[in-house]
Amino acid sequence: MRQETKRTLRRFMRNPSAIIGVSILIMFTLVAAFAPVIAPPINPMDPSRKVSNPYIMPKITWKAEPIPPSSRSDAVKEFIAKAMKKQLYKSKKEDLIPVVEHILRRARAGDLCEAYSKSYKIKSQVRKKLLTLVPELKKDGFSDPKSLINSYLPEDFKIICSETARIDGGFAKFLKSFDPKKMSKGDMVKIILYASKYLSIEDLKEAAAKLFKVDKEDIYRWLKEKKYIERDPIRTVDYHPFGMIDGRDIMYGVVWGTRTAFRIGLIVTFFGTLIGLVVGSIAGYYGGWIDEVLMRITDVFLSIPFLVAAIVLTTILGTGLNKVMIAMIIFGWMGTARLIRGNILQVKEEQYILAAKALGVRDFLIIMRHVIPNTIFPVVIQASMRMGSLVITAAALSFLGLGAPTGYADWGSILNYSRDWILGAQGEAFKYWFALTYPGIAMVLFVLSWNLLGDALRDTFDPRLRG
């Protein structure tokens, strides 16, 4: 028995489609497992704020939850002014505004703060100053700014840098080599874009104007020209290698979408197959009127076009990924039911069943030893093939706007989200190719790998096909 298992495994591993399919699947599994490392979710560091759902692709534009400057307390404003005048002014760097803004908004401020303070040897002062601001910061909506400041101002700059590197390689590099005198245009773009995650457009304009000594409106025009402000895909940034669409990082979506794909595939396949198995085997095994009733029900379900059914169901249940999954389960079990019923009917007639009966084997053992093994493999194979195609169906539903909400990390949703850019620009059909290509490639590979796996399973485990 064990020898046979080994042999089967060896046969499986020698099958080229198994190797390809399994490798791709392993890759996807790793991506799904390490999604938080590959594409770290941007959470507010302040623990009192609600941790956002990592499956919602963060919108990385300066429009992202900007705190209007007017709502800032006077003390904070004053600090900014003082900071600019005093210690920081010594280094002639009023460009600390974005830094301080940053500190006041997000915990990652520590990184920037450290970088600046290192460059200008004012670390301790900045820190001290910040600590005096604790009560004001509290008023500004931060529940525990002291520990926030402390924890993000560690003594060793290297730690900060490595920490930053973990978050954002491009930006860490930038920090390490930060020297405003030598700063290039490219670096400016980087800092602007980085700041864009946290600053309002007004703040940014101001910061940029101060930092680069350019006219505010020039900056704005430039940004607009480069499509950084308008709702438009961008594909410029080092640390968004797959490009961005409307402020959302496609790579983030593709990486977290892997988890979504697995979730949809596994849950829907599991429950769909289970329902199909129960219905099909009851119908096939008992036959007679039970079979008749169950199969007519199956026919009714089959006769409803899936997309129409899904649309109707989501209008009843409401849209959303879970609703789509429910719809896919409710209208996705018939294939399995028919398959298992047909197989049981066929196997029941097989002569080896008669031969086993002629040897005096009991009914129960005949079902367990002879019927099930000859009927279950096609179901398993079908299930693994369905894993892939389900993701396509879910994507289609998301594309129709029935599935995941806007910005959800789901390949289909990304495609839906980037629908406006799919056709490209005037005269430049492939201008926004990345909007389709990366999620598309992910989807194709996912479906392909499950199909290859299904094929390989059939080749190896279905002894009837063995050569």
Partner 1 sequence: MMSVNREPILQVKNLKTYFYTEDGVVRAVDGVSFELYPGETLGIVGESGSGKSVTSLSIMRLLDEKGKIESGEIIFKGRDLLKLPEHEMRKIRGNEIAMIFQEPMVALNPVYTIGDQIMEAIMLHQGADEKKAREMAVDLLRRVGIPEPEKRVDQYPHQLSGGMRQRAMIAMALSCRPSILIADEPTTALDVTIQAQILDLMKELQEEYGMALIMITHDMGVIAEIADRVAVMYAGHIVEYGEVHEIFKRPRHPYTYGLLSSIPRLDVEQEKLKSIPGTVPDPLNFPTGCRFHPRCEFAEDRCREEEPEMVEVLPDHYSRCFFWKKLEGLEVK
The correct pick among 74, 359, 426, 427 for binding partner 1 (CB under 8 A) is: 359
| Host H or E run for residue 409 | none
Binding mask 49-88 for partner 1 (x = CB under 8 A): ----------------------------------------
3 binds partner 1 (CB under 8 A): yes
- The residue range among 173-181, 204-212, 316-324, 356-364 that interacts with partner 1, by the rule CB under 8 A, is 356-364
Residue closer to partner 1, measured from CB, 155 or 350: 350
Instruction: Select from 85-93, 136-144, 193-201, 352-360 the region that touches partner 1 (CB under 8 A).
Output: 352-360
**Angstrom distance (rounded) from CA 115 to CA 279:** 65
Nearest approach in angstroms of CB 246 to partner 1 is: 54
What is the nearest approach in angstroms of partner 1 to the Cβ of residue 294?
Answer: 19
What is the rounded CA–CA span in Å between residue 86 and residue 74?
Answer: 18
Min dist CB 269 to partner 1, Å, is: 23
Nearer to partner 1 among residue 169 and residue 373 (C-beta): 373
Q: Which of 360, 426, 427, 428 forms a contact with partner 1 (CB under 8 A)?
A: 360
The answer to whether residue 464 forms part of the interface with partner 1 (CB under 8 A) is: yes
Q: Is 61 in a helix, a strand, or coil? A: coil
Out of 38, 56, 311, 356, which residue is the one contacting partner 1 (CB under 8 A)? 356
Is 289 a residue that touches partner 1 (CB under 8 A)? no
Sole binder of partner 1 in the list 10, 77, 90, 362 (CB under 8 A) = 362
- Total binding residues for partner 1 by CB under 8 A? 21
Q: Which two tokens stand for residue 367?
A: 């079902």
466 touches partner 1 (CB under 8 A):
yes
Considering the complex, state which of residue 356 and residue 400 has its C-beta at the smaller distance from partner 1.
356
Work out whether 352 is an interface residue with partner 1 (CB under 8 A): yes
Is residue 90 a contact residue for partner 1 (CB under 8 A)? no
Q: Counting contacts by CB under 8 A, is residue 463 touching partner 1?
A: yes
Q: Which among 122, 98, 110, 303 has a CA at the least distance from the CA of 203? A: 98
As a whole number of angstroms, the distance between CA 206 and CA 36 comes to 33
Is the CB of residue 67 less than 8 Å from the CB of residue 200? yes
Q: Which is nearer to partner 1, 159 or 290 (CB)?
A: 290
Other CB atoms within 10 Å distance of the CB of residue 442: 22
Q: Is 67 helix (H, G, I), strand (E, B) or coil?
A: coil
Say how many Å lie between the first and final Cα of the chain, rounded. 20
Query: d(Cα 59, Cα 64) in Å, to the nearest integer?
Result: 6
Q: How far apart are CA 170 and CA 148, in angstroms?
A: 24
Is 254:242 a contact under the CB 8 Å cutoff? Answer: yes
**CA–CA distance, 243 with 233 (Å, rounded to integer):** 7
From candidates 354, 368, 425, 429, binder to partner 1 by CB under 8 A: 354
Pick from 77, 177, 350, 444 the residue near partner 1 by CB under 8 A.
Answer: 350
Beta-carbon contacts of 460 under 8 Å, excluding residues fewer than 6 positions away, are 8, 11, 12, 15, 18
Could you tell me if 229 and 239 are in contact, meaning their C-beta atoms sit under 8 angstroms apart? no
Which residues would be at the binding site for partner 1 (CB under 8 A)? Answer: 3-4, 350-352, 354-362, 369-370, 373-374, 463-464, 466
